[in-house]
């Protein structure tokens, strides 16, 4: 896995923040504070959107942690479309005010990755799982359990970033990717798991426990 720096502001946001701050300063100098307020508001929005705080990862090796910050919008028995098996799907919806750094739900090896181009529906809708642009990772734990983690673009999101490939190893809570501006992450788990979350719960990437393997 590539070395990832851990500043409070995610590296994916540096170009956006540099641009908005430069424009805000220029607008202030040329037009004064009154005209520059919208630009400073955009810069503040960028600061909150690209924040990437450190998280305390649970010590239980069997714990499946949330891959993202957000709200649980699905907990259901489904067919895993990537591994063609029965599974429990847990979906986390991220709005524009959530942290958008994506973290590994388990300790394990990346066995395979799939990218699918698609539409950009509201990521809170269930059909976004099958129709939107998405990137899936098949993770296998040391105990032999299979977990599928799927990054899904949203209505506004236009860029899914994933920094790992088949053969890489991830630890629970490790950053592996980022989705810009509103999105969703689905996790497909073995049917035997004990689910520890419910619809509507607010979760935090790398620290909230979704299930126990």
Asked if 165 contacts 126 with a C-beta cutoff of 8 angstroms, the reply is: no
Report the C-alpha gap between 79 and 87 in whole angstroms. Answer: 6
- Cα distances from 202 to residues 74, 92, 172, 208, 212, in angstroms, run 12, 9, 19, 9, 18
Choice among 24, 91, 101, 183 that is catalytic: 183
- In three-state secondary structure terms, 54 is coil
Active site residue 192: no
Report the C-alpha gap between 58 and 53 in whole angstroms. Answer: 16
C-alpha dihedral sign at 16, 18, 22, 25 = positive
β-sheet bridge partners, residue 70: 203
What is the signed CA dihedral for 18, 22, 24, 28, rounded to 10 degrees?
160
Q: Which two tokens stand for residue 42?
A: 């955009």
Give the residue numbers marked as catalytic: 183
């Amino acid at each position: 896995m590539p070395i990832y720096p851990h500043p409070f502001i995610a590296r994916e946001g540096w170009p956006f923040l540099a641009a908005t701050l430069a424009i805000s300063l220029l607008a202030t100098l040329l037009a004064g504070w009154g005209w520059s307020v919208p630009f400073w508001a955009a810069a503040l929005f960028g600061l909150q959107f690209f924040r990437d705080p450190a998280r305390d990862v649970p010590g239980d090796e069997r714990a499946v942690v949330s891959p993202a910050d957000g709200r649980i919008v699905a907990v259901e028995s489904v067919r895993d479309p990537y591994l063609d098996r029965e599974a429990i799907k847990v979906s986390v919806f991220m709005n524009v005010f959530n942290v958008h750094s994506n973290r590994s739900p388990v300790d394990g090896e990346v066995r395979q990755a799939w990218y699918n181009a698609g539409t950009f529906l509201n990521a809170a809708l269930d059909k976004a799982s099958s129709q939107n642009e998405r990137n899936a990772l098949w993770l296998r734990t040391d105990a032999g359990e299979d977990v599928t983690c799927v990054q899904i673009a949203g209505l506004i999101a236009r860029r899914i970033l994933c920094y790992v490939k088949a053969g890489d190893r991830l630890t629970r809570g490790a950053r592996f990717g980022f989705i810009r501006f509103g999105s969703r992450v689905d996790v497909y788990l073995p049917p035997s798991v004990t689910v520890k979350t419910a619809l509507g719960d607010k979760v935090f990437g790398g620290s909230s426990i979704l299930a126990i393997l």
